[in-house]
Amino acid sequence: MAENPDYRLRVEGVSKSFGPVVAVRGVSFAVRAGAVHALVGENGAGKSTLVKMITGMLRPDEGAILLDGGECRFGTTIDARRRGITAVYQDPKLFPHLDVAENIFMGFQPRGASGLINERRMYAEARRILDELGVDVDPRSLLARRSVAEIQFVEIARAMIADMRLLILDEPTASLTPAEAGRLFEVVGSLKRRGVSILFISHRLEEVRRIADDVTVMRDGEHVITAPASSFSEESMVHYMVGRELKSFFVRQEPPPKGAVVLEIAGLSLPGVFKDVSFSVRAGEIVGLAGLVGAGRTEIAEAIFGIRPPSAGTVAIDGAKTRPASPGQMLRKGVAYIPENRDENGLVVELGISSNICLSVLDRIGKAGLIRRSTESGFARPFSEDFEIKAPSLHSAVASLSGGNRQKVVLAKWLATKPKVLILDEPTHGIDVGTKAQVHKRISELAAGGFPVLMISSDLPEVLAMCDRILVVASGSIVAEFSREEATQEKIMTAASRVSKAGARAGEAGDGR
Amino acid sequence: MGDKGGATLARRFSNAVSRNTLRLRVFSVLFSLVALTIVFALTTPNFLNFQNLKVIAFNSALLTIVACAEALVVITRNLDVSVGSIIGLAGFVAAKFAAANPGSGALIVIVAVSIGLLLGLVNGLAVAYGKVPSIVATLGTLAIFRGVTYIVGSGIEVPSGNLPRWMIHGADATLLGMPLVVLLAVAVALILAFLGRGLPILRRVYAVGSNPGAAVFYGLRANRVVLFAFASCGALVGLAAFLYISRVGTITVNLGRDWEMTALAAVVLGGVSTTGGSGSFIGVLFGALILSTIDNGLVLARAPEFWRMFIQGVAIVGAIALDSGIERRIQAIFKHGKG
């Protein structure tokens, strides 16, 4: 791209907070006209929030967004679209029951003189745009029948019916095969030649190196650097992305445990989701599953717990092998899984603390099928004290507690079932620093007491501080393993962003049409 | 992958099924209607003759209109269980008006349709803007509208003798041997089917039901679309109420009771997905025909009345179970992108 003095998009000092959490803080950068501009950063770096502000889904608290020099104050995504800004998201935002052409034109259908939709023109136009994109998709076929790649091209086709000036691609290749991604890049190239600017968000750094003209790195909601892509190596990009400091007072000190293997996963697979996952967790060991959002970590945990029964492989607990089929079965085997969204999946927020803690052990503490309130509190008290749950009383409704204290209740509830293995999904996501340290301390104590813990976390400093071993998951496979000594944020991030050619998409091979 | 031949064959079959699920759905409606007709034709002597088929068509005409109205709402992923009470209030007020103003002509139709429209708007506002789940909102208005009908009626009935002559005659009128009301019902279904392809707002009805979350990204203003669906449902039901009062002997405050159930049965039998986004009005027409065929067949076979309710219930649950199976498949393909 020749030097082009005018900027298509300028983001100037933009900030956005959600309550006390600052998602984006004073970010400024500019996208050149007709350039591919990559936006990279770790999970939670604020990329999505920034995109939502550019497309009008969110309004910035501070700062301005300028398109071709004019300030944008979008009320809705439609306003943004009218100005030529469209976004293609990783998860399809389309209508599965309608056909391809209708999805492209919904809301903007060509009308005839009668005010009715001119179907012939609509299908012809759709055909033309799809041809132009070089995609062989029948405009009359049902969207639900199309593949993820085709659906993404439909979204791009949709963007093309408007006068497009800026196209935002939010992790477009996350669910594409290498060949499909190649097609997408060709399309990006031809759009670029037409003068469309592309803001490209990706975790795959070699892709960024391949197609981006400029790169902006974000970290912790802040702008780190914007520079021509050619001035970066993959290593230097990772270097700018990581380097967050551990905002917790707790660092685990225990030496690596030498206990017996309690949890052993062998060859766990689920076509299209994850493939051939094998690892083990020893008594007293904390094993971390690191990786990018969408890499398949939660899915693997859910498979181990039986929510998402795997199609192959086994889970052994204390040497007893099984194929997980249901959560009930795995609970009986001694697996406790604490999901990320604790309110939705783990708590009855209207009930009190003690009732929640006792919920999963009712049949054990009840007498003749009845439970006394005092029995409940008696049972719950030691847990509550162990976890230092801060509440007026044991009967206080969980709804009245802070996020951190709720998390403690969830942990207590699961520990009450006397599990053999504990799986934690983002255990400190969205809780304040002080409580975070308490939760870390408690998890660490549990491990010290001989508990095997499997912990999913996108918070790299947390992973480094807590885990004895770190497994990196990318595209549904474990791509790297580090001991606590060898692990660094750079190493983990590099492994997570690398897409091995072989395992580009788990289950790609076994999943025929 | 293990047992190759068997697995491949099974996968091919399941792929073929999932590819054609939507199409299969519409055909299965027609197929059931044909199958039903054959069964009754073989088992019930007086079933298969022109006179009786005309009776079936006549009986299904009103149901077709009400079910098409209900389908509009169901396609947006909502339910309207108040249609029976809309028939009651719109019909009763229109009848009272007609009896009091004998020379008012077409104004009676306007009264019925406007009241239906108004009640539909009430439902739509509660659901789209009040954010009350549609089943709860319309369960409430089911009682409210009926209650208002009782208040308006204050214990009186309107005998059909008090209605203008032309209404009574119109109910029995035929054109080319077909009852007028049947032709009207078919016209309603055909027009809706046609506009359902071509009218932008009706495409939005489908889009909102297919993926309410995506509708936001398209700036479709789902609220308005849902309000539109409920309002037009009300207006169509008002039209059906007018047709209904022209043909019953005495118009009581209980007019249209339990119709919501029958209408919903016709809608789901007709292949409209209760999870929104898909359904054809021609399918609904067939759904109404199926119910009326069952009714008729059972009467001819001298089966006790309660069988009707029983079969209607089974048909609803069966159709919805079948449907949710199909919907799961669609969502599964959509999520994993495997065509």
Interface with chain B: mutation pick from A97, A150, A508, highest number of B CBs within 10 Å: A97
Residue-averaged pLDDT of chain A: 83
Distance CA B67, CA B119 (A): 17
- Tell me if A175 and B337 make a contact (CB, 8 A cut-off): yes
Residue B64, sorted as left (phi over 0), alpha (psi -120 to 50) or beta, turns out to be: alpha
Q: Judge whether residue B202 has pLDDT over 90.
A: yes
- Tell me if B214 and A142 make a contact (CB, 8 A cut-off): no
pLDDT value for B316? 78
Residues in chain B closer than 8 A to A157 (CB atoms): none
Minimal Cβ distance to B219: which of A78, A115, A146: A78
Distance CA B297, CA B303 (A): 9
Shortest Cα–Cα distance, A198 to chain B (Å) = 19
- Using only C-alpha atoms, what is the Rg of chain A? 25
- Tell me if B337 and A93 make a contact (CB, 8 A cut-off): no
Contacts of residue B5, defined as CB under 8 A and 6 or more positions apart, other chains included, come to none
Distance CA A24, CA A58 (A): 12
pLDDT value for B271? 85
CA-nearest residue to B216 within chain A is A77
CA-nearest residue to A105 within chain B is B218
Q: Which residue has the higher pLDDT, A249 or A236?
A: A236
Residues in chain A closer than 8 A to B210 (CB atoms): 95-98
- Tell me if B197 and A512 make a contact (CB, 8 A cut-off): no
pLDDT value for B22? 59
- Tell me if A94 and B211 make a contact (CB, 8 A cut-off): yes
- Tell me if A77 and B216 make a contact (CB, 8 A cut-off): yes
Residue corresponding to tokens 């495409």: B203
CA-nearest residue to A108 within chain B is B200
Contacts of residue B267, defined as CB under 8 A and 6 or more positions apart, other chains included, come to B67, B70, B71, B74, B279, B284, B287
Q: Which residue has the higher pLDDT, B333 or A194?
A: A194
Shortest Cα–Cα distance, A188 to chain B (Å) = 22
**Interface contact A110, partner B, CB < 8 A:** no
**pLDDT tier, B2 (very low <50, low <70, confident <90, very high otherwise):** very low
- Tell me if B197 and A117 make a contact (CB, 8 A cut-off): yes
Per-residue pLDDT tens digits for A440-488: 888 888 888 888 999 998 888 888 888 999 999 988 899 999 998 888 8
Residues in chain A closer than 8 A to B195 (CB atoms): 116
Shortest Cα–Cα distance, A57 to chain B (Å) = 9
CA-nearest residue to B273 within chain A is A97
**pLDDT tier, A507 (very low <50, low <70, confident <90, very high otherwise):** very low
Q: Judge whether residue B24 has pLDDT over 60.
A: yes
CA-based nearest residue to B322, from B265, B254, B263, B271: B271
Contacts of residue B217, defined as CB under 8 A and 6 or more positions apart, other chains included, come to A77, A93
Residues in chain B closer than 8 A to A146 (CB atoms): 337, 339
**Interface contact A505, partner B, CB < 8 A:** no
- Tell me if A119 and B8 make a contact (CB, 8 A cut-off): no
Distance CA B325, CA B310 (A): 23
Shortest Cα–Cα distance, A49 to chain B (Å) = 16
The mean per-residue pLDDT over the stretch B75-80 comes to 94
pLDDT value for A500? 46
pLDDT value for A367? 74
CA-based nearest residue to A254, from A441, A128, A69: A441
CA-based nearest residue to A307, from A288, A286, A282, A335: A335
Share of chain B above pLDDT 90, in %: 45
pLDDT value for B228? 97
Q: Judge whether residue B12 has pLDDT over 80.
A: no
pLDDT value for A510? 35
Q: Which residue has the higher pLDDT, A422 or B217?
A: A422
Chain B residues in contact with chain A using a Cβ-Cβ cutoff of 8 Å? 1, 8, 11, 15, 19, 22, 195, 197-200, 203-204, 206-207, 209-211, 213-214, 216-220, 273, 277-278, 330-331, 333-334, 336-339
A 70-89 residues inside an 8 A Cβ radius of B = 76-78, 81
Please give the ipTM for the structure prediction: 0.80
